[in-house]
């Protein structure tokens, strides 16, 4: 009934380290992109370290770069909300074997499965929530 949860892997991205996440949070604040020199000014690490962190973020699939003269503009490929959802869904899948919202609802009830009428009610509730965005 419900679609599988989107994990980091299904989005083609990898988990960020704490430092990478700090950098990525600044990038997310600029959905149209942020120049490298602006980004560098916000952190205390050595220039080479900052470049390495940003390189890893791009390699992990969370941002893309556009060359602007001698500098780069870093643009997020997904939103922070999308990353957080995928991160937690990945955690649910790996640690608890939960791969759908139905599985999550059943786990909260101390069960492994829901009855068909319960699945239908949850699907209706999710549709109602989507309609109110």
Q: Give, rounded to a whole angstrom, the gap between the first and last alpha carbons of the chain.
A: 21
Q: Cα–Cα distance between 67 and 46 in angstroms, integer?
A: 21
pLDDT in tens, 18-68: 999 999 999 999 999 999 999 999 999 999 999 999 999 999 999 999 999
| pLDDT for the residue 4 | 56
Other CB atoms within a 10 A radius of the CB of residue 119 amount to 18
Look at 22 and 103; give whichever has higher pLDDT.
Answer: 22
pLDDT higher than 70, residue 2: no
Q: How many CB atoms lie within 10 A of CB 7?
A: 19
pLDDT confidence band for 133 (50 / 70 / 90): low
Pick the more confident residue, 60 or 6. Answer: 60
Residue 122 pLDDT class (50, 70, 90 cuts): confident
**pTM, rounded to two decimals:** 0.74
């Amino acid at each position: 009934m419900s679609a599988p949860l989107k994990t980091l892997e299904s989005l083609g991205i990898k988990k960020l380290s704490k430092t990478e996440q700090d950098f990525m949070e600044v990038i997310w604040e600029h959905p149209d992109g942020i120049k490298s020199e602006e980004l560098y000014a916000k952190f205390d690490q050595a220039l080479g370290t900052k470049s390495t962190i940003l390189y890893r973020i791009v390699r992990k699939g969370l941002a893309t770069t556009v060359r602007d003269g001698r500098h780069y503009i870093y643009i997020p490929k997904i939103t922070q909300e999308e990353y957080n959802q995928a991160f937690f869904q990945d955690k649910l899948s790996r640690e608890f074997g939960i791969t759908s919202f139905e599985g999550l609802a059943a786990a909260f009830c101390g069960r492994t499965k829901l009855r068909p009428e319960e699945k239908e009610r949850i699907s209706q509730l999710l549709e109602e929530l989507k309609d109110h965005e």
